[in-house]
Amino acid sequence: MRDSLPMKNTSATPLGAGAKRSTSSGGLQAWLPRLVLAPSVAISLFFVYGFMLWTFVLSLTSSRMLPSYDFVGFGQYARLMANERWWVASTNLMIFGVLFVVVCLVIGSLLAILLDQKIRQEGALRTIYLYPMALSFIVTGVVWKWLLNPQLGIQAMVQSWGFESFRFDWIVDPDMAIYTLVIAAVWQASGFVMALFLAGLRGIDDSIIKAAQLDGASLPRIYWRVVMPCLRPVVFSAVMILAHIAIKSFDLVVALTGGGPGYATDLPATFMYAHAFTRAQIGLGSASAMLMLGGVLAILIPYLYSELRSRKHG
Amino acid sequence: MSTFKKTTLALALAGATLATTAQANEVEVLHWWTSGGEARAANVLKELMEAEGYGWQDFAVAGGGGETAMTVLKSRAMSGNPPSAAQIKGPEIQEWGELGLLGDLNGVAEVEGWDELLPEVVADIMRHDGQYVAVPVNVHRVNWLWANPEVLEAAGVEMPTSLDELFEAGEAIREAGFVPLAHGGQAWQDATVFESVVLGGQGSEFYQQALVELDPEALGGEQMVAALEDFKRMRELMDEGMSGRDWNVATAMVIEGVAGFQLMGDWAKGEFTAAGLTAGEDYLCAAAPGTEDAFTFNIDSLAMFRVTDDEEREAQEALARLVLEPTFQEAFNLAKGSIPARPDLDMSEFDSCAQQSLADFQRTAEEGGLVPSMAHGMAVRADVQGAIFDVVTNYFNDADMPAEEAAERMVSAAEAASF
């Protein structure tokens, strides 16, 4: 089958092909793509946008255990703003999001640059760094939960080597626990960022670098002033992908800390789940979900805008 | 966010698929009796149903406090396909009743004489609007202290009868090289310890005012501050690795002799039994320090959803009848560690802990001191309970928060949660 297609194409003259398309199957050819796409469009309209709208409607009601349509205006949003746990969750998202994105970018780009030095066994090394991405956040969370447990993991190991005063108990310290999420998430995602950067680096024309070398620029200077500016689109996509991973983070928190100690590592996603599903406060949960959607849009819209604009220029 | 949408959708779809496979003379029972002892206990009911020729479709959803199970139940109810029976308890029965989703069991209740059989406090919880809508399965006591006698002996301490004695004993156990109090750092476990401390230090009258009636003066008062300070001291008795630990793992620490005590409801006994230990010899039980004259109850019950099919209804009524029959009550409660919901049973088969539990249940029901457990959803609605959990667990884990501030937050939690 695969062989016959190109043969057909080569045998038919361009003129003949064009005539065939316009006469026999004009209507169908124009409608077929729309027909094929229609179910998936309808499904996503209903299940994604329809449910978004429903969530918004629910956020304006006093819904408790099951949805009700007793409208209370923006009362649930006011309650949310007065809720201390919501602020803990939002602050945590800021800390986690910013650190996760920045650290991943730094580590990922450094790894990519080092791997790009035409070293031996590059393929094997690349695979090693990329593998954490193949794990789900649940697995990462459980593994790091054990590693960070003061009585089982790193602290216990170093102490058993004789460093009795060594302490690494962030996971049980409410002030530090949020950083354990950063550690686990960075471990998982920085290999992926490295792959993105590596692909970007390979796309850079060698002659630019050679020209810079001829001009006597040092290697760090070449990377900083010549290579990195060429990688701006890569940085941009990496930030977008990492930012939405950060906002959606739920499984990692559930597996690693369970939102604890107390609710010190709560994120908006876990807050929303707890209130909508286990505490019979669907109204409040929906309000928090709408604010999360707002957060996602705040990142997505500038991204789409710049994407569309650059395509027009291109 | 889209992940949640997908999860909810998947749950709803899974619910719809399961419901279509249910047959007429079958009951589908949603429950969260999934840990070792509990699963065996639930199986007893299944066997009894099958012996009478009814089908039993098990719908077990894991997760200790039943949070996941409730989520599944809600999506099933929303999609119009609730199971025939579900493990629902306490004030939640009233909430489901208000939605008009529960069917009544008055027929069975009259034939079997539930009004005479059940203690008034239990019957009240099972009724919505004067109609029986649920059947009690068992009575759990929450304010228990479990202990490993070998650890106590090695440390040279006795079972404590007051909070002060507990702190002293804890110090001795720590010096002997054990963990004094096994605990898991999850919000509901924190709350379980908290309510036993409130009860032990401040008495059942205060407990009733503060955690059941939500009286702001009690919640923000001096007694609450004192209780919170005692509660914070419990931290000294726990180990570092408790963060996120499940309750049965903490019980295993007592079983294995790593830890001396655990404050946990009597479902912990199911774990001791499953490990082949004998009450009074291999492990000890006593009312939580300072709570001999009080009993925090946690009653598991099966609520029946309204069904239209006659055969399905018959199976449902058979289930309700069998649940209260002595055969099941004895077998189930022996396996689960709780006491029967009907007080007229012969208790000779039960161990010393359960016998003491039943005696205390009857005594506190008459003399006062029988109170619903806040931590296990028997006292207040889910949203208020959640708000109190937030304050309790945050205070417990925050080394810098003064007790006065936590007490103030407790007051606003009780107010803010209701809408």
pLDDT digits (tens, 9 = 90+) for B296-351: 999 989 999 988 888 888 889 999 999 988 888 888 888 777 888 887 888 888 88
Q: How many CB atoms lie within 10 A of CB A204?
A: 14
**Closest to A262 (Cα-Cα) out of B394, B238, B194, B402:** B394
Structure tokens that stand for A231 in this block: 């990688």
Contact (CB, 8 A) for B224 and B210: yes
pLDDT tens for each residue of chain B, 419 residues long:
444 445 454 444 444 444 444 456 888 999 888 877 678 878 888 888 898 889 888 888 886 567 788 888 888 888 888 899 999 888 889 888 888 889 889 988 888 888 888 877 788 889 998 889 999 998 899 999 999 999 999 999 999 999 999 999 999 999 999 999 999 988 889 999 999 999 999 998 999 989 988 998 999 889 999 999 999 999 989 988 888 788 889 999 999 999 999 999 988 887 888 888 888 889 999 999 999 889 999 998 999 998 888 888 888 999 999 998 888 888 888 877 788 888 788 888 888 888 889 889 888 888 888 889 999 888 888 888 888 998 999 899 888 889 999 999 899 888 866 55
**Sign, CA torsion A220/A222/A223/A228:** positive
At B15 the pLDDT is 46
Residue of B nearest to A151 (CA): B241
Amino acid at B19: A
Tell me the whole-structure pTM to 2 decimals.
Answer: 0.78
Amino acid at B137: V
pLDDT confidence band for A311 (50 / 70 / 90): low
- On chain A, the residues whose CB falls within 8 A of the CB of B385 are 279
pLDDT digits (tens, 9 = 90+) for A19-65: 444 445 567 888 888 888 888 899 989 998 999 999 999 999 888 88
At A3 the pLDDT is 42
- On chain A, the residues whose CB falls within 8 A of the CB of B396 are 262
Q: Which residue has the higher pLDDT, A100 or B24?
A: A100
Name the residue facing B243 among A171, A272, A274 (closest C-beta): A171
- On chain A, the residues whose CB falls within 8 A of the CB of B1 are 248, 269, 289, 292-293, 296
Structure tokens that stand for A228 in this block: 């990195």
Round to whole Å and give the CA distance between B106 and B114.
9
Phi first, then psi: give them for residue B57, nearest 5 degrees.
Answer: -105, 115
- On chain B, the residues whose CB falls within 8 A of the CB of A64 are 95, 383, 419
- On chain B, the residues whose CB falls within 8 A of the CB of A65 are 74, 95-96, 99, 382
Q: How far is the alpha carbon of B77 from chain A, nearest alpha carbon, in Å?
A: 9
Pairwise CB contact (< 8 Å): B99 & A65: yes
Contact (CB, 8 A) for B301 and B121: no
Burial of A61 from C-beta contacts in 10 A (0-12 / 13-18 / 19+): buried
Q: Residue A14 belongs to what H/E stretch?
A: helix A14-23
Residue of B nearest to A70 (CA): B419
Query: Is B178 in CB contact (< 8 Å) with chain A?
Result: no
Round to whole Å and give the CA distance between B218 and B374.
15
Round to whole Å and give the CA distance between A72 and A61.
5
| Neighbouring C-alpha atoms within 13 Å toward the C-beta of A229 | 7
pLDDT digits (tens, 9 = 90+) for A65-99: 888 888 888 888 988 888 888 999 999 999 999 99
Peptide bond into A261 cis (omega under 30): yes
Residue of B nearest to A282 (CA): B383
pLDDT confidence band for A100 (50 / 70 / 90): very high
Q: How far is the alpha carbon of B170 from chain A, nearest alpha carbon, in Å?
A: 20
Pairwise CB contact (< 8 Å): B386 & A82: no
Buried b (16+ CB within 10 A) or exposed e, A267-290: bbbbbbbbbbbbbbbbbbbbbbbb
Pairwise CB contact (< 8 Å): A260 & B244: yes
Segment A95-105 shows an average pLDDT of: 94
- On chain B, the residues whose CB falls within 8 A of the CB of A289 are 1, 4
Round to whole Å and give the CA distance between A80 and B417.
11
Segment A212-220 shows an average pLDDT of: 85
Pairwise CB contact (< 8 Å): A172 & B386: no
Pairwise CB contact (< 8 Å): B419 & A283: yes
CA A17 to chain centre: 44
Bridge partners of B307? Answer: none
Phi first, then psi: give them for residue B275, nearest 5 degrees.
Answer: -85, 5
At B64 the pLDDT is 58
SS (H, E, C) chain B: CHHHHHHHHHHHHHHHHHHHHCCCCEEEEEECCCCHHHHHHHHHHHHHHHHCCCEEEEEECCCCCCHHHHHHHHHHHHCCCCCCEEECCCHHHHHHHHCCCECCCHHHHHHHCHHHHCCHHHHHHHEECCEECEEEEEEEECCEEEECHHHHHHHCCCCCCCHHHHHHHHHHHHHCCCEEEECCECHHHHHHHHHHHHHHHHHHHHHHHHHHCCCHHHHCCHHHHHHHHHHHHHHHHCCHHHECCCHHHHHHHHHCCCEEEEECCCCHHHHHHHCCCCECCCEEEEECCCCCCCEEEEEEEEEEECCCCHHHHHHHHHHHHHHHCHHHHHHHHHHHCCECCCCCCCCCCCCHHHHHHHHHHHHHHHHCCEEECCCCCCCCCHHHHHHHHHHHHHHHHCCCCCHHHHHHHHHHHHHHCCC
Name the residue facing B71 among A151, A272, A277 (closest C-beta): A277
- Inter-CA distances, A227 with A197, A205, B315, Å: 11, 10, 74
Round to whole Å and give the CA distance between B51 and B217.
54
**Closest to B76 (Cα-Cα) out of B22, B25, B138, B146:** B22
Pairwise CB contact (< 8 Å): A65 & B185: no
Q: How far is the alpha carbon of B350 from chain A, nearest alpha carbon, in Å?
A: 35
Phi first, then psi: give them for residue B306, nearest 5 degrees.
Answer: -65, 130
Name the residue facing A150 among B77, B241, B244 (closest C-beta): B241
At B175 the pLDDT is 92
Structure tokens that stand for A304 in this block: 């789409």
Round to whole Å and give the CA distance between A185 and A271.
19
Q: How far is the alpha carbon of A58 from chain B, nearest alpha carbon, in Å?
A: 14
Adjacency order of strands within the sheet including B144-147: B179-182, B259-263, B144-147, B284-287
- Model confidence at A298: pLDDT above 60: yes
At A312 the pLDDT is 53
The SS3 call for residue A197 is helix
DSSP secondary structure string, A217-237?
--HHHHIIIIIHHHTHHHHHH
pLDDT confidence band for A243 (50 / 70 / 90): confident
* DSSP tag of A203: T
Angle at the Cα of A255 (from B32 to B236), degrees rounded to 5? 85
Structure tokens that stand for B49 in this block: 């149903």
Contact (CB, 8 A) for A114 and A268: no
Residue of A nearest to B246 (CA): A258
**Closest to B78 (Cα-Cα) out of B137, B23, B16:** B16
Name the residue facing A66 among B67, B99, B416 (closest C-beta): B99
Round to whole Å and give the CA distance between A20 and B206.
89
Structure tokens that stand for A83 in this block: 């809720």
Residues 99 through 118 of chain B touching chain A, CB cutoff 8 Å: 99
- On chain A, the residues whose CB falls within 8 A of the CB of B416 are 79, 82-83
At B417 the pLDDT is 61
Contact (CB, 8 A) for B89 and B103: no
Name the residue facing B95 among A65, A75, A83 (closest C-beta): A65
Pairwise CB contact (< 8 Å): B382 & A279: yes
Amino acid at B53: G
Q: Which of A196-210, A266-280, B253-267, B326-340 has the highest mean pLDDT?
A: B253-267
Round to whole Å and give the CA distance between A300 and A306.
10
Query: What separation, in Å, do the N-terminal and C-terminal C-alpha atoms of chain A show?
Result: 36
- On chain B, the residues whose CB falls within 8 A of the CB of A68 are none
**Mutation site, B243, B253, B398, interface A, largest A CB count within 10 A:** B243
**Mutation site, A58, A61, A65, A148, interface B, largest B CB count within 10 A:** A65
Residues 236 through 295 of chain B touching chain A, CB cutoff 8 Å: 239-244
pLDDT digits (tens, 9 = 90+) for A121-177: 888 888 888 888 888 889 999 999 889 888 888 888 888 898 888 888 888 888 888
Q: Is B302 left (phi over 0), alpha (psi -120 to 50) or beta?
A: beta
Name the residue facing B397 among A264, A283, A292 (closest C-beta): A264
- On chain B, the residues whose CB falls within 8 A of the CB of A262 are 187, 390, 393-398
Burial of B316 from C-beta contacts in 10 A (0-12 / 13-18 / 19+): buried
Contact (CB, 8 A) for B364 and B372: no
**Sign, CA torsion B24/B30/B35/B40:** negative
- Inter-CA distances, B176 with B186, B260, B284, Å: 27, 10, 19
Round to whole Å and give the CA distance between B221 and A272.
32
The SS3 call for residue A305 is helix
Name the residue facing B241 among A65, A151, A248 (closest C-beta): A151
Angle at the Cα of A250 (from A249 to A252), degrees rounded to 5? 85
